[in-house]
Structures are given as C-alpha cells and as structure tokens.
Chains A and B, each alone.
Chain A
Amino acid sequence: MEMILVFVLILASFLGFELISKVPSQLHTPLMSGSNAISGITVVGAILSLAGTFVVEGEVVRIVLGTLSVFFATINVVGGYMVTDRMLSMFTVAKKEDQHD
C-alpha cells in the first residue's frame, strides 16, 4: 500500500518536471499562481481530518485544527484560482482587441 503511494509520488514528480519545460516568461507569474492554487489540494486533507465522530475528550483540539486548516486551504484554493483567472483574463482581453483591429 505505502509502496504504491511512493510509486505514485515518483511518477507524478517526473510528470511535473516534464510539464513545465518550455513556458514563455510572461506566463511565469500566472503559472506560479495557478500551480499555487493546485497546492491548495490540501483542503481535501483538511476536510478528511474532520471525518468521523468526535466524541473522545481532547478532540476539540482536532476540531479547531481541522476547521482552521479547512479555512486556510480554502483561502489558498479560492484566492489562488481567482487571482490567476484575473491575471489571465487581461491577456485574453488584450489579444481579442488585437484581432478586431
């Protein structure tokens, strides 16, 4: 089980190396911002950390930690995607106007 996950990790890492080889420099910022949004995937981990019944004493701590992590990760996800979209929308607008000229 664990080994399969390591396998997945290694393949995904190589895929990441290959994906970003030739990127025009003007796209570096949106790319960084867009991949930053993807790293907000930890929101899934945050949600799952709040799975199950919380009855045992001391689990208040886990509710606090879980809620905070959902909060932070959601900022990362929502903010990240929206900021990236805002940046990229400007590229698109500029280009469309060129075509009309």
Chain B
Amino acid sequence: MINDTIINLLYILAAILFIVGLKMLGNAQKARQGNLISALGMLIAILAALVSHDVLQWQWIAIGMIAGAIVGAVAARLVAMTAMPEMVALFNGFGGAASLLVGWSEYHRYVTVGDFMEVSVPSLLIIIVTIVIGGATFTGSIMAWGKLSEKLPSKAIQYPGQQLVNALLLIFLLGTTVLFGPLRELMSMNSYWLVIITIVLSCILGISFVIPIGGGDMPVVISLLNSFSGMAACAAGFVITNNVLIVAGALVGSSGIILTNIMCKSMNRNLTNVLFSGFGSGKSKTGAGFQGEANPVSVEDAYFMLEAAGSVLIVPGYGMAVAQAQHAIQELAAQLEENGAEVNFAIHPVAGRMPGHMNVLLAEANVPYEQLKEMDDVNPTIESVDVVIVIGANDVVNPAARTDEDSPIYGMPVIDVDKARTVIVMKRSLNPGFAGIDNPLFFNDNTRMLFGDAKKTTQGLVAEFKD
C-alpha cells in the first residue's frame, strides 16, 4: 500500500489540474488545452484511487472501466455534432447514477458488514443526500435527453396539482434525509425498504421536475443538472471522506450554477420562471393575430436578391442543425463573399439547443471565427444590412419579444432581423418553433419565406451562384 500522504498529494495535484483546466476552458485560445489538463487530473485521481488500497476487487473494477470506456468513447466519437446537447445530458445522467450507486453501496456496507447502529447520524444523512441528488440527476438528465432528441414530446407536460405533487415528493425526501439517521432504531429492519423507496422517489422527482419544462428551456435544465451531478459527486465525497471528490464536485456544482444563471440571463428570464412556469405549454394568446399573408419566394428569386446584396447577415438556429445545413451555408457564405458581399453570422446566445451550439457547428464547417458575431454586436447596425438569411432560427429572431407584451418571450433579447432591409427565412413550414410560439416576422412586408429543407435550398442557392 502506498503511503496515504502520497495518495493525498496526488489528489491535491488532480484538484489543481481541475481548477486550472476549468479556468482555461473559459478562454477561447486555451480551452482545448484546458480540457486535456483536466483530463490529466482525472487520470491522476483514478490512478491514485487504484493504488490507494492493497486489496481491490480488480476484476470488477476492470470490467466496469473497460466497458464504460468503450461505451463512452464510441458514443463520443459517433454522435453527430447536432446531437451534442443530448449527449452531454446523457453523460451527465450516468454521472448522477454512479453517485447514487456509490451511496447505496456504502449504505449496504453499513447494513451488512459494520454495526449499523454505530454509524454516525451525519454519515447516514449524507448517504441519503447522495442518493437523492444522484437519483434526481439521473432521471432528470434522461428526461432532458429524451426531450432534446425528441424521443419524448418536447412540449411542457403539465397536469393539475403538479406543483403539489413535486412539493410533496420533495418534502418526503427532505424528511427522510433529515430523520433517517435519528429514527433508524425505530425502523430497525425496515430501514432498507425506506432507502429503496427513497431511491425510487428521487428518480420520480427527477422525472416530474423536468417533465413540465418545455424543450426550448432544456439547455438551462441541462446546465442545472450538470451542477447537480457535481453536488452528487461532492456528497459522495463526504460519504467516503474523500477530498478530491468534494473539491471537484463542489467546483462543478458551483460553476454550473453560475453557467445556468448566465444562460437564464441571456434569455431574459430567471431560474424560477424557467423551472416552474411551464414555458411553451400553451399557445400564445396573440396567436390568432398573425394570420397575415406570408410571401413565399423561389430559390431563383432569392438568388437574385442575394446576388444584388452588398452585405449579408446569416442567422442560424436549431433548424440548421436538424437539416445538417452548416456545410452548405458555409459554401453559400463563401460564394457571397466571392460575389463581393460582406458576410457575417449572427449568433444568438441561446440559438440551438445549447449556448454555443451554433458556434460549434459552424466551426465544424470551417466558417472563420471572425465572421461569427454576437447578438449585441450586430443589432446596432442591423438597419444597414441588405439581406438577412434566417436559417432554421425562429424564437431568437421573433420581433414579438420586443413588441408584444402578451408573448411568452416578451422581453427576451432577440436579433432584430425585422429591421434589416430584406429578410429571407428558410423554413420547412409556417409552424411555430420548438418553444411553440407564433412569429409575426414571417408575415412582414420585407420578409420572404423560402420554404423547404434548409440544406437543399442552400445547395440550390450555391448552385445558382456557380452557374
């Protein structure tokens, strides 16, 4: 057995690498290096754990790690860039499940090996905390994955008394957490059942917590669940009194809260509102008011408009990801530049299913970094843009956010494309977007609707330019 001091020094080293790595992840130039540094920290922590005890169940650890590494690596390699957000949600859920299992296993050890009545109250408390947070993170993340990948209805699902059910679940779980230790003598043999019930109810809590939240808000939910999985790991750290789990878990827990908050701010909403308002569950009250005439346009006409444009602004949204149109749009941008136009991309902070989702996709398609502009940089000068191409974006360009106080997204900062000279909207149909809100932009006089699959239409435009 290697000296405890050395093991702890290795854990400290791992913690330092996590901190440095996280810090670098926030900087565009150093992010990739930062991720590798944090991965190195993880490797060191794992190796330290493996050499910290003389006797380990080697074969089982090996089986778990090899199988997990294969599944993780294959999933990470094969997942399409467009499906990245739900992949992160899924990985996050597995982290939560792992924490739950660590807590459960420790509880089982107390029951079977040690003298259960000798276990301290705080130890039991923290085990239950680990189980509750881990379980809720697990099922909550699975729900978020289902909603994002549209395996589950992405709409907010609500039923009468939902808040009450959630509140009761939460009260019950809190009650169990606090009272479990002190009351275990009363329960004696039945305590195991209570733990099983707690596991089941935490899993139900995760589901019922995410179900009433609309798909459009999933990025915020994933970020919050990410923070929870950090807290679960942190709690698991208390269960086994391990520093590196506590430090890394707390880092993720708190930085996740900050990131969640930043995301809420960019949607001009607060967290309570996101979690409890059932956003996107009902139709906009003003929905009937937009029955105007949309102006459809053919690919050829759109080409003439673009050919004459001196400046073009492209606003991508999740629809671009769905249609896998990022490469086609990059080609179109290149053609437009060759034609002498100034081309920029305007990225709304919450475009796509996760902040930065569009940046990742466009970077994948080799769109130069400088062409990617943030919303606040394009809005002041948007009146001077000749043509705006909206590709698969909807809510983030909805002028109702500025003008219609009844709109559910009223107050959310949007890209003011309606103020540009002309707007071409590439869309499959006039259906409202992911959040289910009608968009008056489609019926504006200066808006032209280019219906069809975004990728095919864009390729059509590129072909027109090449002719």
Give A contacts to B, CB under 8 Å. Answer: 1-2, 5, 8-9, 12-17, 19-54, 56-59, 61-63, 65-95, 97-98, 101
Closest 6 CB pairs of A and B: A74-B68, A70-B64, A16-B254, A79-B72, A78-B72, A26-B359
Is residue B91 contacting chain A, with contact meaning CB distance below 8 A? yes
Give min CB distance, A31 to chain B, whole Å. Answer: 5
- Assess the B28–A83 pair: CB atoms within 8 A: no
Cα distance, A36 to B253, chains bound together (Å): 10
- Assess the A79–B71 pair: CB atoms within 8 A: yes
Q: Pick the contact of A36 from B32, B36, B88, B250 — CB < 8 Å?
A: B88
- Assess the B32–A89 pair: CB atoms within 8 A: yes
Give chain B residues whose Cβ lies under 8 Å from the Cβ of A74. Answer: 64-65, 67-69, 72
Give min CB distance, A70 to chain B, whole Å. Answer: 3
Cα distance, A16 to B235, chains bound together (Å): 16
Contact with A along B220-240 (1 / 0, CB 8 A): 001100100110111011111
- Assess the A39–B52 pair: CB atoms within 8 A: no
- Assess the A25–B347 pair: CB atoms within 8 A: yes
- Assess the A16–B75 pair: CB atoms within 8 A: no
- Assess the B75–A79 pair: CB atoms within 8 A: yes
Cα distance, A51 to B184, chains bound together (Å): 26
Give chain A residues whose Cβ lies under 8 Å from the Cβ of B98. Answer: 40, 42-43, 45-46, 69-70, 72-73, 76
Cα distance, A81 to B248, chains bound together (Å): 15
Given contacts A34-B35, A90-B360, 19 further A-B contacts (CB under 8 A): A2-B241, A19-B255, A24-B28, A35-B25, A35-B256, A36-B226, A36-B229, A38-B251, A42-B249, A44-B245, A51-B56, A56-B113, A62-B109, A69-B99, A74-B67, A74-B68, A83-B84, A86-B77, A98-B368
Mostly, the A contact residues are: helix
How many interface residues does B have (CB within 8 Å)? Answer: 118
Is residue B262 contacting chain A, with contact meaning CB distance below 8 A? yes
Is residue B208 contacting chain A, with contact meaning CB distance below 8 A? no
- Assess the A31–B25 pair: CB atoms within 8 A: yes
Known: A28-B259, A47-B49, A56-B113. A8 touches B19 (CB 8 A): no
Give chain B residues whose Cβ lies under 8 Å from the Cβ of A31. Answer: 22, 25-26, 31, 259
Give chain A residues whose Cβ lies under 8 Å from the Cβ of B81. Answer: 87, 90
